[in-house]
Amino acid sequence: MRRVPGFLVTALSVALVLGAWVFVTTNGLVRDLFLPGPRDLWLGFSELMEDGYKGRTMAEHLGMSLLRVGAGFLTGALAGTVLGLAMGTSRRLDAAAAPFVEFLRPLPQLAYLVLLIVWLGIGEASKITMLFLAALPVAAIAARDGVRNIPPERLRMAQSLGASRGQVFWHVVAPSALPEILTGARLALGIVYGTLIASEIIAGSNGIGWMILDAGRFLRSDYAFVGILVIGLTGILIDRLLLLLERRVVHWAGR
């Protein structure tokens, strides 16, 4: 029996979901308030693209969300990676920093959003700081584990050839840990993206997350569904770009 290609299974599953959506909305099995049909969704999307929402275009709302994601993710992932590499190479630093990193990692970000709003206000600083704290522990643990998983014989071989500590780090440790660092970056980005929407809902006046909440207050479920689709598709696109970068930069991983 021939194996069914993966892309065919994916296409079939998407088609089934879309078909079920069209069926239940066309036949009136679900009210438009709860699940807009394809026509209502398209009209809502067209209105948002032409007129925007609450004085801002759709692109402006999306741009504000992506700027927050970029600022929080890049700073958090960079700081976390540097910290994780240091933790992986120094047992003492790992013992000192691990309790705080492990405490932050499972902690729900919304648990300290209220404190950040009290400390930093309801503006951009509190949102970006929360995204920074969401990305940092994930990136740190990935980088630390990447260093720890390096085969010892690889390090001893470089040392036996006369490499200094700096040369061992830059030419052996960092490249060997890079696959896990990039995997951790993808995980961190997903967490940051989800956290962004929650922060905009609670402490925002623009952005895709805020638009979804505000549209829901006025029972504009078509606008809310459009926002959800934009979030999901944008997240998939960003993740695929990171995956492409990972395959280009660490093409040797797993071989």
Q: Residue 188: what pLDDT?
A: 92
pLDDT of residue 213: 85
Helix, strand, coil share of the chain (percent; to 5): 80, 0, 20
User: Which ranges of the chain have pLDDT less than 50?
Assistant: 1
Q: pLDDT at position 155, please?
A: 83
Candidates 73, 63, 68; CA nearest to 127 is 68
The predicted-structure confidence for 87-145, as pLDDT tens digits, reads as follows 998 989 999 999 999 998 888 877 888 888 888 888 888 889 999 999 999 999 999 99
Query: Which domains are delineated in the chain?
Result: 37-249 (1.10.3720.10)
Residue 197 has what pLDDT?
80
* Range 64-93 burial, b when 16+ CB lie within 10 A, else e: bbbebbebbbbbbbeebbebbbbbbbeeee
Q: State pTM to two decimals.
A: 0.84
The phi-psi region of residue 219 (left if phi > 0; otherwise alpha if psi is between -120 and 50; otherwise beta) is left
Question: In this predicted structure, what is the pLDDT of residue 59?
Answer: 87
**What's the pLDDT at 1?**
46
The rounded distance, in Å, linking the Cα atoms of 79 and 132 is 9
